[in-house]
Amino acid sequence: MTYTVDIINKAFVNDAGIATAVIRNLGLTLSNGEFVTLLGPSGAGKSTLLNLIAGLDNDFEGEIRLSKPDGKTARVSLMFQEPRLMPWLSICENVMLVCDGSTSQRRSSALHWLSLVGLSGAEYQYPAQLSGGMLKRAALARAFACEPDILLMDEPFSSLDIPAADSLRQLLSELWQKRRTTVVYVTHDITEALTLSDRILLLSSHPMQVLEDVRLTSQRPRNPLENELLALAERFKQSLADPA
């Protein structure tokens, strides 16, 4: 099963009525269960593309087809750089918000995901009581707890220090291997892209287009210091420094 994204033109119009094209002629097919990273320069239009896929912005020319074989539309979940938890709800209640079923089923599902992300014991704490890394874990639990068909992640670990970000990437990789949802992950960190992805779409600066579509081996964990990956990293670095 595949999902297709075909953006002919996405532009923003400023107060003077002048339109600037951010995405033009960008087509991509997402296969069910694959981990795709959008790697591109800052300001290229990556977050804009995620908003279009999520249906948060419908003002574009083109078509996004997210239907499943049963005719239903794929369930989409988003994780942003900021955890965006409700401060007046406990961590458990925040995760329960996205779960289906009776209250006890939703609680049990939330507790299950919170334990998978290592937050057992903190379930009834409030967001203000948690560290930045714990908040990201809670946001990750919430992102998976709604059982999404497609998980969109916009630089989710970029504000963390290196060890915390590494440990969350490892956790994400484990969760994704357990529950093979389609992931579309935005970053401008080449090592992160090489560590996590099945496939990397190297993007141009805006108007954003796909410059390269690179498929990696399914081997996990992946060592970004392998020769082949180092060569790829070097090529990506040049493209990002000198965007087309």
Ligand X SMILES: Nc1ncnc2c1ncn2[C@@H]1O[C@H](COP(=O)(O)OP(=O)(O)OP(=O)(O)O)[C@@H](O)[C@H]1O
Strand 61-65 versus strand 150-154 pairing type: unpaired
206 makes contact with ligand X (CB under 6 A)? yes
Q: Among the residues of the chain, which ranges form H helices?
A: 46-54, 91-96, 103-116, 132-145, 162-178, 190-196, 227-241
- Is 47 a binder of ligand X (CB under 6 A)? yes
Q: Considering the complex, state which of residue 145 and residue 203 has its C-beta at the smaller distance from ligand X.
A: 203
Residue among 12 and 126 whose Cβ is closer to ligand X: 12
The yes or no reply on residue 12 touching ligand X (CB under 6 A) is yes
Structure tokens at 127: 């967001």
Contact between 153 and ligand X by CB under 6 A: the answer reads no
Residue 5 beta carbon to ligand X: minimum distance, rounded to whole angstroms? 14
From candidates 37, 188, 229, 243, binder to ligand X by CB under 6 A:
188
In the region spanning residues 68 to 107, those forming contacts with ligand X, defined by CB under 6 A, are none
Q: Which is nearer to ligand X, 40 or 148 (CB)?
A: 40
Interface with ligand X (CB under 6 A): 12, 22, 40, 42-48, 188, 206
